[in-house]
Structure 1
Amino acid sequence: MLPRPLIIDCDPGVDDAIAILLALASPAEFNLLGITTVAGNVPLALTTANARRICHLAQRGVPVYAGCPRPLLRSLITAEDIHGATGLQGAELPEPTLPLPVQHAVAFLIEQLTTASAPITLVTLGPLTNLAVALIQCPEIAQGIDRVVMMGGALGGGNITPAAEFNIYVDPHAAKVVVEAGLPLTMIGLDVTHQVVTTPERLRALESLGTPVGQAAAGMLRHYGQLDVERHGLAAPPLHDPCVIAYLLRPDLFTGRPMRLAVETEGSLCLGRTVANAYPTAAAPANARVIETVDAEGFYTLLTERLGKL
């Protein structure tokens, strides 16, 4: 089989960086056409620089396109308390040498999705601003999308508010546009990613790779997510975004089912909440596949094995 055409839309962020590395370590499965960045975990200038640094670390010349610097209707909220001031706390990464393209991320998405010879898979790891703007500007791009697999939302409680997960909360109006666009959508939310925690044993396995990538990944993860551990009573920091790449590589590690998904954009207490109905009806049919469980040990085995190839 030919590698799957893929675009990653992200806001690096430590877990975004690990997800990018996992994709870059899987050239037989993915033809990574480009990486688009959005403001989220840190401001746009940093998310763009971080994506470029990760590609440089992996010695892969994938172009990175800077996108939207703020949500559609709200002021930007960032997460330096989780990812550190630079977004990649714990790793000293070299400056990238590949020039930054002048084309905007939204223009890149529209161009790729309207000219592609085969449908493209979109991986979204941050706020959905770029994809929403692309859909608003050019609804025809939906025809060029094979599927959208998003890290975002939750069936239960949130991690930025009691009701909302960070990526959706930062730009709930963009999330609403994407969820209601009729796309083949898969949601991987906190209920899944909180099952995937970086225990000391799993961290040592990455360190033992003895490569620059392994050392950088372990360094970032050593400093990442301690606040989540305290807030949510987890055994170790969760690793959100790489679950999306792992799902595309090994869907057998995950279980889920079709649901009717909606995003709350009106209420102040529940702004950004993803509401998933596991019992769709003819009047409100399923519009997303919602993942519910993951084999965490299988996930970390896959991650460590693949990063060892970079």
Structure 2
Amino acid sequence: MMLNTLRHLPRTGLMACMTAGLGLFSAASAQAQAFDTARIYGAAPERDGGRIGLVALAGHAYQGSKKSRAMLVPSLDYQWSNGWFAGTSNGLGLNFSKQAQFSYGLRLTADFGRDEDRSPALRGMGDIEFRPEIGGFFNYSPSQSLALTSSLRYGSGQDRKGLLVDLGVAHQIPLDGSWRLGVGAALTLANREALQSYFGVSAAQAASSGYAPYRVGAGLRDVRANASLTHILSPRSSVTAGLSVSALQGDAKNSPLTHQKTSVNGLLAFGYLF
């Protein structure tokens, strides 16, 4: 979230503000389970700092579902001056960069899985268990208003071999002294194991669910676009509202579990820097 004015934010803080919107919208579309972007919060590079907040999400029961789902989730992220960070948006990791416009490093995140009872459409598919993920990230801010983000995560899915690659771009447009417009886009690439777990149907699942068997291959999982409006309440606090459109692609789009290929998600979030 944009928690300060452009002229007072260090570039690392500005990158965090812009990429936060991408992460929140991914959370809305994937039900607060996506660690797609490493959002490096905190104060100046030589100081410790963090962000605490509350996020109301309006999304769907699972990717591809028609059933709506609303959640109210807390957010807490902290970064130490030595590069270590931990939180609900970033997971646990280490940013190796000492340069203001770059952040890159390693981190541990989580895939929270999917419960069969989340939707009648999943009956007979079984649960997808919680899995830890290992990975890395690289973010680059070529200017004060633009951020390019990327991350890699490995370990999700039924066989713990799911691999996800996330790429994104975020742009911030100042409207006046206290309002900011944010726009962004992102996509996720996935290997066969990751897509099979969430969009495929095995022979055993076909027998218990009534779906026909469905095998998937690696490729583009989805593309996303978002827009947000942030009001800066004080040098440390802000409120953000926004919408995101997510469209499944390839084998994910054609899965028998996919009942809605394109979804619109919303959020309302409050954040405070400390």
When the two structures are superposed, what TM-score results if normalisation uses the length of structure 2?
Answer: 0.30
Which structure: greater strand fraction?
A: 2
User: Whose helix fraction is larger, Structure 1's or Structure 2's?
Assistant: 1
Q: TM-score, normalization: structure 1?
A: 0.28
